[in-house]
Chain A
Amino acid sequence: MDNTNAAILVADDDREITAGIARLLELEGYRVIKAYDGLQALEALTENKIQLIIMDVMMPKMDGLSATMRIRQEQNIPIMILSAKTEDTDKVLGLSMGADDYISKPYSPAELVARVRSQLRRYLRLGDVNSSQAVKDAVTVGGLTLNIGEKQLYLDGEPVRLTATEFKIMRLLMENAGRVYPAEEIYEKVWNEEAFAVENTVMVHIRRIREKIEINPKEPKYLKVVWGIGYKIEKL
């Protein structure tokens, strides 16, 4: 991968956390630039060529959300918000301000690295793909691209190996992203059989798909359970 020497800006007012993240990313081979408040972050951005930003929300001088908004007015670099605020409303606010990802503290280091990698992959690689002609017969949801002709699912440009059933489920859900399908309906559509006590069967498949496409299967980004109703692919 050619994104290993990408420059990442880490902005957090807690110096230990900044240092910790920096060390973590450096171990992965990234170049890290540190900032301790929003203004410093903006400054660092003008001085360096940066491919990704990890931003805390509660920072002195200028908070992360304001900084995100400023950056978004000019640049298209992926921004990941790292915050102790774990409310749904906080997440929605952060993402709507222009952030690409929202990681809550305390984060899992592995997850963080995986997310960083995912964001960089999309930004550096798929940026070209997106700009070129869209692939025919392909459905795209966020970082997921389902090529129906090839019967292949791509996650941030990387192919994901799926079984036939899993592919069918993904096709059904991705083509109707945002719609909730009860287990029975998924079963009937995918297996073409009458459904009876199929919750477990469907759930097992769903879990397997999750393990393949989600960075953190416990907090799925794409394939979500709507409790008491069914399953859906989040419309991103």
Chain B
Amino acid sequence: MDIKSKSSEKSKNRLNGFMRLFWLVIACAAVCYAFFTAYITYERGFYPETLIEADYTKSSDYEHRTVSAYSRSIDRLADFIRDFNSYCYLSAEGSDSGSLTHSEDGILIHSDSESGDIWFLGAVGDDGIYRRTYTKKISEDVTDYYFYSSVTSYDGTLTFVYCNAPKSVFENGSSIVRNNDTFSDSVTGNIASNYYLAGEPTTLVYDCLPDSVSYTMSKFGADSDCYFAAAPKTQFVENAQAAWTAERQRLIPIIVTIGCCILAALMSLICFCVVSLKKLPDENGEMSVRLSFFSRIPLEITLALSVILSVQLTVLTYDMRWTSWVNGTEAITRLSVNIHRAAMVGWVFVTFAFCFSLIVQILSLIETKGFVANSFICRFTAWVIRTVKGFAAKIKEANSTRKKRGKLTPIEFVKGIGQAFREKIFRKRIPIEKKMLKMTLIWLGAEVVCGLICLLCLLDSAEEIAVVFFIICFAFFGMYMAFLYSTYRDIGKLAARIEAVSKGEKPDGNEIYPDSPLYHIYLDLENIDEGMKKSIEEQVKSERMKIELVTNVSHDLKTPLTSIISYVDLLSKTELSDEAADYVKVISAKAERLKNIVSDLFDIAKANSGNSNVELENLDLCKLIVQTLADMDDRVNASGMTIKTKLPSAPVIIRSDGKKLYRVFQNLIDNALKYSLKGTRIFIEAEISDGLVKTSVKNTSAYELDFTADEIKERFTRGDKSRSTEGSGLGLSIAESFTAVCGGSFNVVIDGDQFRTEVVFPTVI
């Protein structure tokens, strides 16, 4: 169930991620499309591909040149004119001199210095638009004393410019014009005086214009005799209207498309925001806004990238337009233009993707209150504050302990800062040599810097400052030495602690503080000490548990045995048939034997668990043997064996537990009595040599001793493999255990049928 819901959560999260990407791509694509459409329209609509048209016709009496330029901007036009200057210059058939004059009134005259020809090129209107211009060569061949030019404008006016003058005037004037004076000064002045000779300009206008056209005339300049005749050109208006309508027809769908695209982009952006800000269950099942990979990038970086991209987009747009306009005249291939456009679109896509993601990032950061965690500056500030605070706290702590020790003098305060500084440096668990290197480099660096400043000051003959820095440098050296000294002192302390631990003592004093580079080693040592204590405690605990186990098992064995014995006894007291009475006797005997075995088993288990109460005292071994024999006198007599003793006459004092040692010898003698060949003798001897007393019990076995000494000492091993004789089989084992517990050593020697047990104890002098 849990896994199922988890997997569904996972798929939900994945779906959400996919939706985010989807909406982002849609929004950016819409923006791209809008941008591209607008861009293409702009480029096509306002900057026709053919920008300059030049026509040149030459007849016998005059030359006709047509130059048309379309531009919205006076700057562009100026550029064009500059270009046109050289064009005219080149096209003036062999002439290599001349100039293009741009009058204040915007009339453009070209005068050829060689031929003396003057070319009226056109005029720039008040709106700064240079229009289709007809020019006529003013030359001797032209008998009419005038020239005219018509200027058509997109605003629907047709302007004729007339200059009427007699031929002579022009002839005179030509020389004036040749002086490269401005048009208004030279030409107008001269023309004006002869204007009326040619008759009314009105007549001329009538000559040229159809009757239906009404016109207005005005002087070209304030003082000039040059006239404008302006008339609406029906044809032109119609054309303009048609062009405007066509343009409108073309632009409406484009504008609609752009509008739709922008709307779609906005809606997609909203969807993107909504999807991104949707709360989703996380691993813990809590609903929260998920920060995408982008949103986790520090805000400063995303913001900077977005700004850079946007700025670059603007620059690029301008550049592309300019490039395509200029290069268009020089016939740049369409392919390269398309590549440019594709790059442009890509750039737009990336830029807007960034901007949109930025919006979502800001929104989701507001939602999750994650500004501090995200922002690099915030984080950095927080880190700085934390570090400074931590350092301040450390200084405070160090100084407060110093204060406790005594008065807080300024020197102590500085020491406290030093301590905090060292604690900060040695905080991390890194190899000791690296810590030392770090510290050394810091001090050496400080010294080198001070030394260099000192040297510079000396070179600059600022001795006072040099002395100050020399002293500082020396102080740094002193501090470094102090640090080295304290480190060596800590090594000494550590060695003392290690020595104490290795001796198993409690390491007292010699604490090492966190400002020492050896602090972590000290901590490790402490841990070893702790670990050792712990393991000893565990051992003691397990020992105790073992003993408890023995006690419990013994109790559990004894309780049913108690019942058996008491009921067998009760049974024996009832009236039974002879047969039954025999059986009861057998049960009784076996129960008694079982009781002895359990008791022996308990004794040996206790002796081996190392927890038997041993009461050591000085006693006479010889006397103990004699007592034991006396105690067992009846059994010895009953067995029919003879026991020969050979004991030292003087008391042999050993340190042992009398009761346990009695059990040892009782067992050994018992053993000998049980397994000896009938009629043989048992020898008990004690010898003293080298501070040891060796007591041996020897007998001749009734059975073949077909086992090794080690085997017989094993628990439950008995001389007769058939185990038909009485005994628990624990006799020798108990003897061995008890001897060991009392501080002696036990040994079994088998030599043919000779069975010898040896108990060795150190004597007390």
Contact = CB atoms under 8 A, between A and B. Distances in A.
Interface of A: 14, 16-17, 20-21, 23-24, 27, 58, 84-89, 105-110, 182-183, 199-200, 202-204, 207, 225-230
A106 B623 contact: no
Nearest to A26: B570
14 contacts: A16-B563, A20-B562, A20-B566, A20-B570, A23-B570, A84-B562, A105-B559, A106-B558, A106-B562, A106-B564, A204-B630, A226-B658, A227-B624, A229-B619
Contact of A84 (B555, B573, B633, B634): B555
B554 A84 contact: yes
B565 A229 contact: no
Contacts of A58: 555
A204 B636 CA distance: 13
A89 B551 CA distance: 13
A200 B554 CA distance: 36
Given A84-B554, A89-B613, A109-B569, A227 B627 contact: yes
B559 A199 contact: no
B22 interface: no
A203 B563 contact: no
Interface in B557-612: 558-559, 561-567, 569-570, 573, 591, 595, 598-599, 602
**In the complex, the 9 A-B pairs of residues with the closest C-beta atoms, listed nearest first:** A228-B619, A203-B630, A227-B658, A228-B624, A20-B566, A109-B569, A199-B626, A84-B558, A106-B562
Contact of A227 (B559, B564, B619, B629): B619
Contacts of A182: 623
Among the interface residues B566, B631, B658, which one has the most CB atoms of the partner chain A within 10 A?
B566
Given A105-B561, A229-B658, A87 B570 contact: no
A193 to B, nearest CB: 18
Interface of B: 551, 554-555, 558-559, 561-567, 569-570, 573, 591, 595, 598-599, 602, 613, 617, 619-621, 623-624, 626-631, 633-634, 656, 658-659, 661-662
B528 to A, nearest CB: 37
A226 B480 CA distance: 75
A225 B665 CA distance: 15
Contacts of B629: 199-200
Contacts of B621: 228
A87 B598 CA distance: 14
A160 B91 CA distance: 169
B19 to A, nearest CB: 71
A88 B570 CA distance: 29
Given A20-B566, A24-B569, A204-B630, 18 more contacts: A16-B563, A20-B567, A20-B570, A21-B566, A24-B570, A84-B559, A85-B555, A88-B613, A105-B561, A106-B562, A107-B562, A107-B566, A182-B623, A200-B630, A200-B633, A207-B633, A228-B623, A228-B662
Given A84-B554, A203-B633, A228-B623, A14 B659 contact: no
A77 B634 CA distance: 39
B597 to A, nearest CB: 12
A12 to B, nearest CB: 9
Contacts of A200: 626, 629-630, 633
Contacts of A108: 565
A27 to B, nearest CB: 6
B614 to A, nearest CB: 11
B559 A24 contact: no
Nearest to B599: A86
Given A14-B559, A106-B565, A107-B565, A199 B623 contact: yes
A24 B573 CA distance: 9
Contacts of A107: 562, 565-566
Contacts of A88: 613
A203 B561 CA distance: 33
B627 A203 contact: yes
B207 to A, nearest CB: 146
A27 B599 CA distance: 29
A154 to B, nearest CB: 27
B630 A110 contact: no
